[in-house]
Amino acid sequence: MHVESGTPQSATPQPAARLARAAVRRGTPPDLLCDCALFLDIDGTLIDLAPTPEHVLVDDDIARLLPALGRLLGGAVALITGRTIRDADALFPGLGFPVAGQHGLERRSADGVLHAHGEGPPGYNWLHGELKALCERHDGLWLEAKGATLGLHYRLAPGLASYVHRTVRAMVSTLGAAGAEWKLQPGKSIIEIKPAGRDKGAAILDYMSEPPFAGRLPVFVGDDRTDEFGFTAITVLGGWAVKVGPGKTHANYRLRDVAAVRRWLTALLLRCTVGIEHAR
């Protein structure tokens, strides 16, 4: 894929407020614009889910698509993920995009500055030990320790879903009684335990106050319950919130699957490439 950088003269931005008002709730999103600030979840949005996070496949198409979008949008593209920044960088080596990791608990801004939001309230070591013991007792459970957050995966043991949720809720309740503020964040075959006070929506709001995102039309694409915080923030800002796949959502648009997301993103590049050629 060869795409020249810069905004073509033929792609005239439209006022963000008018476009947001014209939204058809949960319909297919309009064509992306060159004045967007684009925020993208990773797993289940840009790449298909896998049994465990380390088994996801980053193919050549998405590896080429992301930097091309970054050039076209003047760097106003950020990854908003439950993964750590380190994991995101490992998936896309050399990309160097702004990334909000661990649901906003860590955030790298466009100027490369890392913003950390603490290591979490007391009780982490106890919680880690209890969850590790739980995994040892039940085949198919897998614990992901991300630093400030913990993720308990049960994709390989779906029959344990209700038991996992009940058990983890009881653990967090115990911590709460001891004065430690932890928050549960259910996702697709995972329940994450994180310090209260930060989420994907907060990370997006931070980005929208900084260059090169400020003043642009915010667009966030995500697939999971953890992305609903981002959808809410985007809606408040008058932007486009795009849900990938089925399920209840606060998003005002929807795309069917990862393939549909990629086609939608690629369409912007194709339109702008044609515009550049016509301008010549």
Look up residue 210 and give its DSSP letter.
Answer: S
Please give the domain boundaries of the chain with CATH numbers for all domains: 124-195 (3.30.70.1020), 198-280 (3.40.50.1000)
**Among positive and negative, which fits the CA dihedral 53, 58, 62, 67?**
positive
| Least confident among 14-28, 40-54, 171-185 | 14-28
The predicted pLDDT at position 119 comes to 59
- pLDDT (mean) for 5-29: 46
Residue type at 242 in one-letter notation: V
Tally the residues of the chain. Answer: 280
Residue that the structure tokens 């160097």 belong to:
96
- pLDDT (mean) for 56-81: 95
| Least confident among 100-104, 105-109, 196-200 | 196-200
- pLDDT (mean) for 136-162: 92
| 36-40 vs 217-222, strand pairing mode | parallel
Residue 1 or 188, more confident:
188
Assign 51 a pLDDT band (cuts: 50, 70, 90).
Answer: confident
Judged against a pLDDT cut of 80, whether residue 94 lies above it is answered with: yes
CA atoms within 13 A on the CB side of 10: 13
For residue 5, give the nearest of 76, 62, 58 by alpha carbon.
76
Decide: helix, strand or coil at residue 17. Answer: helix
Q: What percent of the chain has pLDDT above 90? A: 63
Judged against a pLDDT cut of 50, whether residue 278 lies above it is answered with: no
* 32 CB burial (10 A radius; 0-12, 13-18, 19+): buried
The predicted pLDDT at position 149 comes to 85
Options 41, 89, 206, 224, the catalytic residue: 41
* 201 CB burial (10 A radius; 0-12, 13-18, 19+): buried
b or e along 93-102 (b: 16 or more beta carbons within 10 Å of the residue's beta carbon)?
eeeebbbbbb
Assign 222 a pLDDT band (cuts: 50, 70, 90).
Answer: very high
Decide: helix, strand or coil at residue 151. Answer: strand
43 an active-site residue?
A: no
- pLDDT (mean) for 66-78: 96
Query: Which ranges in 102-160 belong to alpha helices (H)?
Result: 124-137
pLDDT mean across residues, the chain: 85
The predicted pLDDT at position 121 comes to 63
